[in-house]
Amino acid sequence: MTHRTTIITGASSGLGAETARQLAARGWDLGLAARRTDRLEALREEIVERTGRRVEVRALDVTDAGAVRETVQAFRTDFGTLERVVVNAGLGKGAPLGTGRPEANRETAEVNVLGALAQTEAAMEVFRAQHHGHLVLVSSVAALRGLPGAVTTYAATKAFVATLGEGLRHELVGRPDLDIRVSTIHPGYIRSEMNEHVRGTPFMVDTVPGVRAMVEAMEAEKPSARVPAWPWVPVGAAMRAAPLPLLRRMTGGHA
């Protein structure tokens, strides 16, 4: 590559921020977007000091489709080309359906579904014009099955993200004119701001090793990856086949 540029949304904290740190350490220049620009600026200073990589930052609410397109196009102007876009921004709010808190589920659906769709549209527009690029969609192991209670909506939104990625890969089969790769990453239970209140969840790993597994899957451009591979490759297979009572015991009701 003559240019190594990655755009990451939801980069102000959690998995997005750690992904930025690790990709910069691997030699990538970065475009970082999130709503909290104070955190983005602090992260930029940290990364530049540690790695010397170029980092551009922009405020972005991914539910504003027009702003998403403008931001991705602006990053392309900044760098001249975009090699990778990581659709990472997401929410984990939720409540059991029908219990009087529809706003939490609606907000999660708007960010995780409409926001992911807007980011994918904007990234693919650039990649089609360039005839190359790498789209990374951050889904979840929660996408593997419907899950109960407060995570029902979240799991459904992450299933949407996974299906979106598969549809694009299907479309790109037999298109030698478009060197566009699509990766769907299914993180397991990785400690982050989104789930810092969750306790007792099986197989939880710390942020740095968990994100390392995500980044390695991105760099390998895997079409689909459950990470960390242990235990989520076998556990994911078991989740797909388990009857619902066993699935609930396996997941603890969390994702």
pTM to 2 decimal places: 0.93
154 a catalytic residue: yes
What is the reported pLDDT for 197?
59
- Residues found in the chain: 255
Instruction: State the angle between helix axes of 116-130 and 152-172 in degrees (0 to 180), rounded to the nearest 10.
Output: 20
Marked catalytic residue, from 154, 160, 189, 232: 154
Q: Cis (ω within 30 of 0) for the bond into 231?
A: yes
Q: Does domain 5-251 have CATH number 3.40.50.720?
A: yes
Per domain, the residue ranges of the chain are 5-251
- pLDDT, mean of residues 101-118: 97
Residue 112 CA to residue 62 CA, distance in Å, equals 9
Q: What pLDDT score does 1 carry?
A: 43
The pLDDT of residue 245 is 86
Q: Which two tokens stand for residue 11?
A: 């980069």
Mean pLDDT, residues 15-19 = 97
**What pLDDT, in 10s, does the model give residues 158-210?**
999 999 999 999 999 999 999 999 999 999 989 876 555 555 566 788 899 99
State the Cα–Cα distance between residues 94 and 106, nearest whole angstrom. Answer: 8
